Amino acid sequence: MKNRKRWMCAGMSLAAFGLLTGIMHVGLTRLTGFTQAACLAGLFSLILFVCMLILDIIHPLEEKQLACMGGFLFLTILARVLMLDYVSSDYVYFLSGWTKVFRDGGLAMLGENVGDYNLLYQYVLLLIASTPLPDLYMIKYFSILFDYALALGMLFTSERLSGRPAGIPVLVTVLLLPTVLIDGACWAQCDSVYVFFIVLSLGMMKDGKPNLAAALLGISFAFKLQTIFFFPVVLLGLLHGEYKTKHALTFFSAYFVTMIPALLAGRSLASALSVYFGQSMGQYYHRLTYNAPTLYAFFPLMEFKTTDIFGWMRFIGGIDNESSSEWLNPDLYPTLQQAALMACILLVLLIVLYWLFHSKEITRDMTLCFALFFAILLPFVMPKIHDRYFFLADLLAVLYAYVKGNRAHIPLLVVTSSYMCYMPFLTRQHPIDNRILSLMMLLALLSVGRDLLTEMRRNRTKMKGGAPCRTSRTA
């Protein structure tokens, strides 16, 4: 039976290769010939083949079911292929230039500061620069590859959190989620990469493999600074004994290993360690929010100083000649950002202190609820947050709704709010006022917070009655 299914996976992948080769040869404008179309189609067909094999290992299916899933996976791949030609401003102004630097300078450029992404992604750009295929397609391919890794990771982790066989709906939902679909295939961003490592780290932690979980989290942090939105869960794991302080060494070791190629190429350790500092402090100083559904959507808006360079910015709601606040001097914005950051830190510390005083009321089975709460709270109250920074919350909300079973409104609120904030950048449209989207995100945050407090109160009542807090599958 296993051999038959493997042959079926190979056959479907071969058929997908033929179809994709024809579609790419005719439809993709940056390919120079049939050979390039066949190479690119082969890479996408490989995603289909490997994904089907892993899916059957995680969640064994009947032959007909696996064939249906193969058809579904092919359609999701095709949807992404059809977006490969879209060129975003991020690609024009940043990614294409960085790739060209690596193409011209080669391996030696790892010793220089190329762009503002961390080192792991620079290694990816170096590899892309060395291939004969168009860099736009390969940058997107890398992100699309992790779309499918993320879907499988969500499948694996959902089983560890729910205590029941992994649900195919989780995989289907992730691959159809608009923010996942748009982020990599259209926008050429790589948020699915760091979120994959976070989700898999969560699953490994619940599977009793803390060393592997810590290493995965270190790799995630090496890709994106937004991994910090998950760090409160590490503190929870320490209190519950799922993590030990020694696992911090695993985390930092994994992070340090990612620096080795750059260090060997001549980059200083100080430069390698300071990427995130320069990323967060060096360029984003004009506003309190960058089109994200956060608390600062309710603050007076100002014109961007860089609107003449990045024309898409004028499509953000309120950014026009009449919207600038006369009483809010542009020179005051760095001070406002610092004040907002200090207020954010104080608020988070107060919440964490409250939680620490009531840590006995938070059981291990509340980890996902806790993770989702902070994945929404931290970007909601932090200044200088961008539209894509709720990507982790999008995926954890889907996971939470699946594990909880009756919380479908939470991913609906989070994903809709997050996705609508993509529109000004991608479509030059602003369908819904950002203040409404921020209220939707706040409503989701309050709903998750209520769930957390309700479960804590229930556990408190049990402890007062002398009964131990039983773990329950309530996420």
pLDDT digits (tens, 9 = 90+) for 13-28: 999 999 999 999 999 9
Is there a domain that residue 470 lies in?
no
Is there a domain that residue 222 lies in?
yes
Is there a domain that residue 205 lies in?
yes
The count of domains in the chain is 3
Distance CA 465, CA 475 (A): 23
Below-70 pLDDT ranges, the chain: 1, 166, 279-286, 300-333, 466-475
Asked if residue 164 and residue 184 are part of one domain, the reply reads yes
pTM equals: 0.92
**Burial state string for 433-455 with b = 16 or more CB within 10 A and e = fewer than 16:** ebeebbbbbbebbebbbebbeeb
Distance CA 189, CA 168 (A): 26
Asked if residue 153 and residue 98 are part of one domain, the reply reads yes
Burial class (CB in 10 A: 0-12, 13-18, 19+), 7: exposed
Is there a domain that residue 469 lies in?
no
Q: Where among 82, 114, 137 does a domain terminate?
A: 82
Distance CA 139, CA 125 (A): 7
| Long-range Cβ contact pairs of 230-236 (< 8 A, separation 24 or more) | 230/198, 230/201, 230/202, 230/371, 230/374, 230/375, 230/392, 232/352, 232/370, 232/371, 232/374, 233/202, 233/367, 233/370, 233/371, 233/374, 235/352, 236/362, 236/367, 236/370
Asked if residue 289 and residue 265 are part of one domain, the reply reads no
Other beta carbons within 10 Å of 312: 17
Is there a domain that residue 53 lies in?
yes
Is there a domain that residue 241 lies in?
yes
Asked if residue 33 and residue 161 are part of one domain, the reply reads no
Is there a domain that residue 184 lies in?
yes
**Burial state string for 271-289 with b = 16 or more CB within 10 A and e = fewer than 16:** bbeebeeebeeeeeebbbb
Q: Percent of the chain beyond pLDDT 70?
A: 88
Residues 221-262 have pLDDT tens digits of 999 999 999 999 998 898 888 999 899 999 999 999 999 999
Q: Which domain holds residue 46?
A: 1-82
Closest CA to 320 of 440, 435, 420, 424: 424
CA dihedral 103, 107, 110, 115 (to 10 degrees): 0
Asked if residue 202 and residue 325 are part of one domain, the reply reads no
Closest CA to 182 of 152, 225, 144, 222: 144
Q: Which residue has the tokens 């083949």?
A: 49
The contacts of residue 342 (CB under 8 Å, 6+ apart) are none
Asked if residue 324 and residue 397 are part of one domain, the reply reads yes
Q: Where among 66, 82, 98 does a domain terminate?
A: 82
Instruction: Decide: 369 and 475 in contact? Cβ < 8 Å.
Output: yes
Distance CA 236, CA 367 (A): 8
pLDDT at 326: 44
Asked if residue 152 and residue 29 are part of one domain, the reply reads no
Distance CA 200, CA 206 (A): 10
Please, how many CA atoms are within 13 Å of residue 467, restricted to the half-sphere of its CB? 9
Asked if residue 78 and residue 223 are part of one domain, the reply reads no
Distance CA 328, CA 22 (A): 56
pLDDT at 323: 45
SS3 for 2?
Answer: helix
Distance CA 274, CA 373 (A): 29
The length of the chain is 475
Q: Which residue has the tokens 């296993």?
A: 2
Asked if residue 277 and residue 139 are part of one domain, the reply reads yes
Closest CA to 99 of 28, 223, 188, 218: 188
Runs of H (alpha helix) within 274-317: 275-281
Runs of H (alpha helix) within 82-162: 89-90, 96-105, 119-129, 135-162
Is there a domain that residue 302 lies in?
yes
Asked if residue 313 and residue 223 are part of one domain, the reply reads no
Burial class (CB in 10 A: 0-12, 13-18, 19+), 306: exposed
Reading the block at residue 214, the tokens are 């810590």
Asked if residue 250 and residue 157 are part of one domain, the reply reads yes
Q: Where among 238, 265, 283 does a domain terminate?
A: 283
Other beta carbons within 10 Å of 177: 23
Residues 152-192 have pLDDT tens digits of 999 999 999 987 776 799 999 999 999 999 999 999 999 99
Instruction: Decide: 364 and 455 in contact? Cβ < 8 Å.
Output: no
pLDDT at 89: 87
Asked if residue 236 and residue 216 are part of one domain, the reply reads yes
pLDDT at 319: 47
CA angle 336/327/316 to nearest 5° reads 70
Distance CA 214, CA 216 (A): 5
